[in-house]
A = this chain, B = another copy of it.
Amino acid sequence: MCALIAQRGIRAERISLFASERGAGTKINVNGTELRVAELSAEAFGAVDYALFSAGGHRSREFVPIAARAGAVAIDNSSIFRLDDDVPLVIPEINPQDARGHRGIIANPNCSTIIMNLVVWPLHRVNPVQRIVVSTYQAASGAGAAAMDELRSQTADVLAGRPATPRVFPYQIAFNLFAHDSPVGRDGYNAEERKMIDETRKIFHEPQLAVSATCVRVPVMRAHSESVNVTFARPISPGEVRDILHSAPGVEVIDDVDAGRFPMPLDAAGRDNCLVGRIRADLSQPEGRGIDMFVCGDQLRKGAALNALQILELVSAR
């Protein structure tokens, strides 16, 4: 977040950093200036215009409403308020107009949702989407810095023939994969899958949109990947999809069959754009209404910090 703040030209003297008691006192370099992290309290928001929250659901539930009441616009990375009727859920490339109606809180969508929606939305505008079947390949970064450390240290343990001890993740992540470790509901879908379904419906303003999602954690450090199968209302060709996505904001088409170049998480990591490729007519839909795609996006950038900053720029520009 701090790195992106610097990149996007927000001056350090306009930034105040807050953390819990444990994190307070740390110094963080923002664009060449050392900023001291203060302890977050209910009184913190007096002079704050825009409050970016990225400290987990627990903290957001307590402090986001306080920030909003104090007159700040809270842009929240947690999932707590995303489905609230009076909280806009915004991807600036898709539904910037929703941000206008905010009452002090704007929610930043789930990372897998953002990455998928960036490529599906421009197509939906041209040819309405009838159904999405998505399977994800989610990086360790989605579970935080400690999870990335665990992937590194566990992998070293396995290579050295030592036992792999899961601490952050419930199971061994080194050279293994498993169903996304969020709670599973009575319908068998885990929370991450429900987010992809429910948030896509809200962002698209299509409350009945048919989406099925399977979310899987893989031993990749950073950047999520998604295999996306889309059924459209009318026939659509891979060439048409490629043309639409070539001019879609935040999207980069990497789809070179001759060179064998397609999106990879390693290439998406550290980049603002989401990469899309393997665009092909779904052979299981002979009427030509199906498209298969593979998308990779940096879960920490467009999937989180970048989208939050874009929301900030959107509302502060008014």
Indicate if A72 sits at the interface (CB-CB under 8 A). no
A314 at the interface (CB under 8 A from B): no
**Which of B176, B189, B214, B285 is in CB contact (< 8 Å) with A264?**
B176
In the complex, which residues of chain B have a beta carbon less than 8 angstroms from the beta carbon of A260?
170, 179, 181, 184
Q: Mark A278-291, 1 if CB is under 8 A from B, else 0.
A: 11111111100010
Q: Which positions 96-140 of chain A face chain B at CB distance < 8 Å? A: 131-133, 135, 137
* Interface residue from B155, B181, B214, B283 paired with A227 (Cβ < 8 Å): B214
Residues of B within 8 A of A212 (CB): 229, 282-285, 290, 292
Q: A132-B284, A265-B177 are in contact. Are A188 and B238 (CB under 8 A)?
A: yes
Least distance between A117 CB and chain B CB atoms (Å): 16
The answer, yes or no, to whether A299 is at the interface (CB within 8 Å) is no
* A225 CA to B14 CA, complexed, in Å: 48
User: What is the distance, in angstroms, from A287's C-beta to the closest C-beta of chain B?
Assistant: 11
**A171 nearest CB neighbor, chain B only:** B264
A188 touches which one: B187, B221, B257, B286 (CB < 8 A)? B257
Q: Does A152 contact B (CB under 8 A)?
A: yes
Asked if A307 is an interface residue, CB under 8 A from chain B, the answer is no
Complex Cα distance, B262 from A178, in Å, reads 7
Q: Which of A287-308 contact B (CB under 8 A)?
A: 290, 292, 294
Contact of A175 with B284 in the complex, beta carbons under 8 Å:
no
Q: Are the C-beta atoms of A292 and B214 separated by less than 8 Å?
A: yes
Chief secondary structure at chain A's binding surface: mixed
CA distance in complex: A111, B242 (Å): 32
Q: How far is the CA of A247 from the CA of B291 in the complex (A)?
A: 35
The answer to whether A278 and B176 touch across the interface, beta carbons within 8 angstroms, is: no
The answer to the question of A55 belonging to the interface, with a C-beta cut-off of 8 Å to chain B, is no
Query: How many residues on chain A are close to B (CB under 8 Å)?
Result: 56
Chain B nearest CB, measured from A294 CB (Å): 7
- Residue ID in chain B nearest A131 by CB atoms: B284
B187 near A133: Cβ-Cβ < 8 Å: no
Say how far A212's CB is from chain B's closest CB, in angstroms.
Answer: 4
Q: Which of A137, A151, A152, A280 has the most CB of B within 10 A?
A: A280
Interface centre among A135, A211, A220 (most CB of B within 10 A): A135
Residues in chain B near residue A176, CB distance under 8 A: 220, 264-266
Establish whether residues B187 and A281, one from each chain, have CB atoms under 8 Å apart when the complex forms.
Answer: yes
Complex alpha-carbon distance, A260 and B151, angstroms? 20
Measured between alpha carbons, how far is A225 from B294 in the docked complex, in Å?
A: 17
For the complex, give the distance between the alpha carbons of A304 and B264 in Å.
Answer: 28
Which residues of chain B come closer than 8 Å to A188, judged between CB atoms?
A: 238, 257, 278-281, 292
The answer to whether A283 and B189 have CB atoms under 8 Å apart is: yes
Q: Is the CB of B152 within 8 A of A159?
A: yes
**Contact check: which of B135, B277, B284 meets A211 at CB < 8 Å?**
B284
Binding site for B on A (CB under 8 A): 131-133, 135, 137, 151-152, 155-156, 159, 170-172, 175-179, 181, 184, 187-189, 197, 210-212, 214, 216, 218-221, 225, 227, 229, 238, 257, 260, 262, 264-266, 277-286, 290, 292, 294
